[in-house]
Chain A
């Protein structure tokens, strides 16, 4: 903003914005704090905020009971794999929609998005049967495929909006120089669209990471990601706030950290490229 602002005004803005920001962030902060309390402190009345005996016990209990690294690794492979596969399939489609648009382009895009509205619960039984037939129950491959299909519409749409911003003349010039279609996409388009692709990648990794219906229902022991890890800590017997908090923190920490480090790409990713 070009306008000059009085320091008082700026201070007021700062105070309000920080207040609201902390309020929104508070549930996460509270979860993280609680994960370092003992179970008794976690429910103490009145609640203790910072002044308690910090302990790592909950984390060691959780780790002892379930092999966190295995769940984490599955989450990484499934979320990463499905997104990368989705992008590989989506790039050509988005290219053709952006640079060779036809009357039906918009219809196809919206149709793709509408496939996301299928209620997952309604098709659990059919999908389960198909998975059995194909022998991909409880495999990372199976989940990579399913999550890729779920997020593909979003990926195509995002890439399409990014590609559209790239001037067609550049591609044409490349073609004049004798570049094949493959080369055109690989060496000209993709590098130019890299920021957009990065945003798409990040956002869809988050969506895949947090997907909790298919990842829970199509896995058992081998391919179970962090969503299944959490399902073994929700409402066990006895006091559980602190352990639940520790497990929750472990489940969201990787993505929280990834998100914060790549905030810039993510912010443009969150806008689905649709807003400039």
Chain B
């Protein structure tokens, strides 16, 4: 059906989307590149001339740079691990026969509808507050000293908040995948005396690999740029300064657009490294 005619038609029909996205990518990218080679300080008169690679050197040699890359990777990695592990477990659970499955599913999806700002505010104030938060009450109830979550366990707290938001997503994809699993295969394995664990490892998990890949890809894209959760909770203190947040600090708090833009370029490079890495896996897995 791929005639010459339909090929050119296809190109034309693809054009609007491709051109728009190309523009959306290139225009800011080029402007960011342009700014990144400038000393650009809005509060000191704006454009103060070209400075070569100064901003790049300064951004990467700042003591906050490597910790921020590390924080980014820990948060992304932590959330991915939690959502995938608990997502698989939840999906298996939800696939069991039970009463009121539909309602439970609604309860489990709900966090996905909550704005990141709102969920960060609610978690920070009503749960993690060391005096008035519910966790503090719970801890006191059991006679323990309340934890001040956002300073003593800052990264874990942020991972918890973000995981809560993304767990529904992972669970649902994995649940859909599990539902398509051939139950006869499982039963046959059970007859053969395979333990539940080996059934899971040899049949369920391989079946889920494609779904896990999708979760990995989509979540990474969203997680690399999380901002609201940090802005609302710790403002980058206590080792939660991610690369995105560091750029925010440079551009908006220090009002150094040049330096921040150089950071933006690094962030794009990091994102692309992750993307290439992901696409290697996804490419194999996605189109099978």
Contact = CB atoms under 8 A, between A and B. Distances in A.
Direct A–B touching in the complex (beta carbon < 8 Å)? yes
Interface of A: 1-3, 5, 9-10, 13-14, 16-18, 20-22, 24-25, 27-28, 30-31, 34, 43, 45-47, 89-90, 92-93, 95-97, 99-100, 102, 106, 108, 110, 112-127, 129-130, 149, 152-154, 156, 168, 171-172, 181, 206, 209-210, 212-213, 226-227, 230-231, 234, 241, 244-245, 248, 251-252, 255-256, 259-260, 263, 266-268, 270-272, 274-276
A275 B103 CA distance: 22
Interface stretch (B126-134, B147-155, B195-203): B126-134
Given A115-B21, A126-B28, A96 B221 contact: no
B117 A122 contact: no
B162 to A, nearest CB: 13
A155 B126 CA distance: 35
B25 A118 contact: yes
A245 B127 CA distance: 13
14 contacts: A2-B183, A18-B100, A27-B127, A27-B164, A43-B132, A92-B13, A95-B13, A97-B14, A108-B14, A122-B268, A126-B27, A126-B32, A149-B21, A275-B214
Given A20-B90, A123-B28, A272-B214, A241 B225 contact: no
Contacts, number: 300
A47 B138 CA distance: 10
A93 B28 CA distance: 23
Contacts of B125: 241, 244
A113 B14 contact: no
B110 interface: yes
A168 B6 CA distance: 13
Nearest to A206: B113
B133 to A, nearest CB: 10
Nearest to B262: A122
Contact of A230 (B35, B115, B221, B261): B115
B247 A116 contact: no
Contacts of A102: 7, 10
Given A89-B17, A108-B14, A121 B121 contact: no
Q: What's the dominant secondary structure at chain A's contact region?
A: helix
A122 B2 CA distance: 42
B107 A1 contact: no
B254 interface: no
A99 B117 contact: no
B279 A122 contact: no
Contacts of A28: 110-111, 114
Nearest to A119: B267
Contact of A106 (B25, B118, B268, B287): B287
Interface centre among A10, A27, A227 (most CB of B within 10 A): A27
A125 B251 contact: yes
B16 interface: yes
B137 A118 contact: no
A56 B17 CA distance: 47
B244 A115 contact: no
Contact of A119 (B1, B18, B264): B264
A271 B214 contact: yes
